[in-house]
Chains A and B, each alone.
Chain A
Amino acid sequence: MLAAALAGLAYALFFASPYGLRVLTVAGVYALAAFGFQILFGLGGALSMAQGAFFGLGAYVTGILGSRYGLDASVTFPLSLLAPLLVALPVGLAVLRLESHYFALATLGVAQVLHLLAVNLPDLTGGANGLPGVPAFALFGWVAPRGLPMAALVWGVAAVGGLIGWRLARGRLGRSLELVRDDPLAAGCLGLDVGRLRLTAFALSAVYAGAAGALAVHTQRVVSPEVLEFPVMVTILTIAVVGGRGRMVGAVLGALLLIHLPEWFRGLERSYLIVYGAALLLAILVAPNGLTGLLERLFPPPPRALPDAVEPPAGPRATGEILRVEDLSKSFGGVRALDGVSLSVQAGAIVGLIGPNGSGKTTLINVLSGLERPDDGAVWIGGRDRTGAPPDQIARAGLARSFQAATLPNHASVLEAVAAARLPFDRSVAEAEAHARWALDRLGAGDLALRPCHGLPAALRRRVELARALARRPSVLLLDEPAAGLTDAEKADLAAHLRRLAWEGMALLVVEHDMDFLLPLVGWVLCLDRGRTLYAGPPDGARRDAAVIAAYLGGPAVRDDSDDEDGA
Chain B
Amino acid sequence: MRRLIPLLVGLLAAAGPARADGLSFPVLVPLTGFLSLEGTSQRNGALLALKEAPAGLVAASEVIDTGTSPEAAVTGLERAAGGGPVGAVAASMLGTQMLAMLPLAAELKLPLVTVSGTASITEQGNPWVFRFFPGDAVTKTAHARYVVEELKKTRPAVIYQTTAYGQSGKTHLEAAFRALGVNPVFQEGVDPAAKDLLPVLTKALSANPDVLVLHLHAGPTALLLRQAATSGLKIPVVAGSAMHQPSTAALLDPAELKGVCAETAASPVSGGSPAVAAFTESYRAAFGKEPDAFALGQYDGMRMVLAAVQAGAKSADDVRKALAAGRHDGLAMSYASDGKGNMAHSAVIVCYDGKTRIPALVKRYDNVTGVVK
Contacts and interface: CB of A to CB of B under 8 A. Distances in A.
A238 interface: no
A269 B82 CA distance: 18
Interface residues of A, number: 32
B100 A221 contact: yes
A122 interface: yes
The majority secondary structure among interface residues of chain A is helix
Interface stretch (B60-68, B147-155, B256-264): B60-68
Contact of A120 (B65, B100, B162): B162
Contacts of A266: 64-65, 76, 79
B95 interface: yes
Interface in A89-131: 119-120, 122, 127-130
A133 B102 CA distance: 9
Contacts of A226: 68-71, 96
A216 B71 contact: yes
B99 A129 contact: yes
B70 A224 contact: yes
Contacts of B188: none
B163 interface: yes
Nearest to A135: B103
The majority secondary structure among interface residues of chain B is helix
A402 B55 CA distance: 85
A337 B20 CA distance: 86
B164 interface: yes
Interface string B169-182: 00000000000000
Interface string B59-102: 00011110011110011101101100000000000011001101
B79 A128 contact: no
A22 interface: yes
Contacts of A122: 167
A545 interface: no
Contacts of B78: 18-19, 22
Given A132-B102, A132-B124, A266-B79, A224 B164 contact: yes
Name the residue among B65, B81, B165 with the largest chain A CB count within 10 angstroms.
B65
B162 A128 contact: yes
A284 B103 CA distance: 38
B71 A133 contact: no
B18 interface: no
A263 B76 CA distance: 9
B71 to A, nearest CB: 6
B130 to A, nearest CB: 17
A18 B107 CA distance: 12
B168 interface: yes
B99 A19 contact: no
B96 A231 contact: no
Name the residue among A130, A216, A226 with the largest chain B CB count within 10 angstroms.
A226
Name the residue among A26, A221, A225 with the largest chain B CB count within 10 angstroms.
A221
Contacts of A219: 71, 74
Given A128-B162, A128-B166, A19 B81 contact: yes
B276 interface: no
Given A19-B81, A220-B74, A222-B100, 10 more contacts: A18-B78, A127-B164, A127-B167, A220-B100, A222-B96, A224-B70, A224-B100, A226-B71, A266-B76, A272-B65
Interface of A: 17-19, 22-23, 26, 119-120, 122, 127-130, 132-133, 146, 216, 219-222, 224-226, 231, 263, 266-267, 269-270, 272-273
Interface of B: 6, 31-32, 36, 62-65, 68-71, 74-76, 78-79, 81-82, 95-96, 99-100, 102-104, 107, 118-120, 124, 162-168
